[in-house]
Structure 1
């Protein structure tokens, strides 16, 4: 009987635990088809929209993974680190200074991963002194583009293009198609580090429902324990009653047998 009660309580706890496990496929790391893609990212046109968040859509092209930015275009996804929330990108045009110039992250859920500093892009009709390094991928025969400190006063032969907050200025030693193209994201209430979807900002009453689930589960558990306790008492009483009946029947039968044995023997002549 004790084993039956233990098994019933264990089964209840197991079922409650399983019921509270996340059943949304977006909480599974990558799912069965895309093991490298994890919430809040999703594969566009391959996974349902509830697998990820807006702005985190990825797509495949020519055996590469891309992400689209409205103000610039498509960038190649080199790697994603969910532990550090770091998205490493590659510019397919091989011109990171152009990405810095045109990428407006305010329209996206991302920010630059590194510390920012304001720099100014200037376009000059003639080359500056050799102490200034022009950006080759943005310059031509009749125009020369430079990235300078925002406090720099350009000569009259130069026009100011734009002042932007970016991680790094141009350097020929750091001018590959990946340097500085690292982004990060911050979603309030998300648990994507563990691969679990918990969108508290889209479910304002989530804490209330979680608390209600806990209370209801506890009440149900107490009710089950009390029910099993009284059921156990009732069953024990039933067993005791049956044993008493059996015992009473044995004594009665014994008495009858004893009286029968004590009857005088009748001898017929």
Structure 2
């Protein structure tokens, strides 16, 4: 037998082994999605799927620190800093989560927590890519009817001297030179929970106005998350329209073999 025929014979013998290995891998992947199926706490609530898991599922169904639970029809995240938060939206493709803290640790003003507490944890970070500016004024001196890029005020106690202060949220691209005397920029990093689509965030003035009102009244905020061996792979899966899972044997995330009908965000 010459070398060419020998090589063909070896490849033919190995082919069934390779096929068997691929089938076993696919089977293992499907076992993950059977054990770790997606859930919702309510019909219109955010879908809970890997890298998140429901608290009633095995720990292997989610990445570390990414457990959610249901309280009635609400989806709850136990944030290490902010405590219990109601999750209003999860954008898997963009690695974004909108949430409302349920326990206000700063009773004088909901906005205090954005500048007085470091919200970054091992998994979650405030998403400040397109953050709003927080403006503090000694009196209610900004005509928000004239400037639709500035929303407010909300009356708070000043962090400096406990005096009454009026706070506003300003669109990040607004010129701060329009501010009257007695007003200062307190922070330029207030996370804004915008809606997202397949192209990214919707970020025009009209959406900013409505969103800023929600932030002032409820403290709604936005997080991004990170988990090694998971985040970048899962994000790629979502862009390809496939679910993401995790292989304990391979110690990394993977994309489901076939595409599923997924949300476009």
Output the TM-score relative to the length of structure 1. 0.50
Structure 1 gaps of 5+ residues are: 1-6, 207-269
How many aligned residue pairs are there?
191
Distance in 2 (CA, whole Å) between partners of 1:79 and 1:172 is 16
Q: Specify whether residues 28 and 71 from structure 1 end up closer, same or farther in structure 2 by C-alpha distance, changes over 3 A only.
A: same
Q: Corresponding residue for 1:20?
A: 25
Match of 1:262 in 2: none
1:136 counterpart residue number: 154
1:225-240 residue pairs with structure 2 within 5 A? none
Contact 1:122–1:154 (8 Å) recurs in 2: no
Give distance in 1, aligned partners of 2:116 and 2:31.
32
Q: Match for residue 181 of structure 1?
A: 221
Alignment of 1:1-269 (within 5 A): 12-21=17-26, 23=28, 27-28=32-33, 31-32=36-37, 34=39, 36-44=47-55, 46-92=56-102, 97-98=111-112, 100-101=114-115, 104-117=118-131, 119=133, 122=136, 124=138, 127-131=139-143, 135-136=153-154, 138=156, 143-147=164-168, 163=187, 165-167=189-191, 174-177=212-215, 181-190=221-230, 191-192=233-234, 193=237, 194-197=243-246
Aligned CA distance change for structure 1 residues 173 and 51 (closer, same or farther; 3 Å): closer
Q: Which moved more, 1:77-86 or 1:176-185?
A: 176-185
Give per-residue Cα distances to partners, 1:93-145, cap 9 Å, x unaligned: 79863553456332242334452558456485xx24234865437469x7234
- Computed over aligned residues only, the root mean square deviation of the Cα atoms, in angstroms, reads 4.9
Tell me if the contact between 2:154 and 2:167 (Cα under 8 Å) persists in the aligned partners. Answer: no
Q: Check the 8 A contact 2:77/2:85 in 1, yes or no.
A: yes
* Equivalent pair of 1:109/1:186 in contact (CA under 8 Å): yes
**TM-score, structure 2 normalization:** 0.50
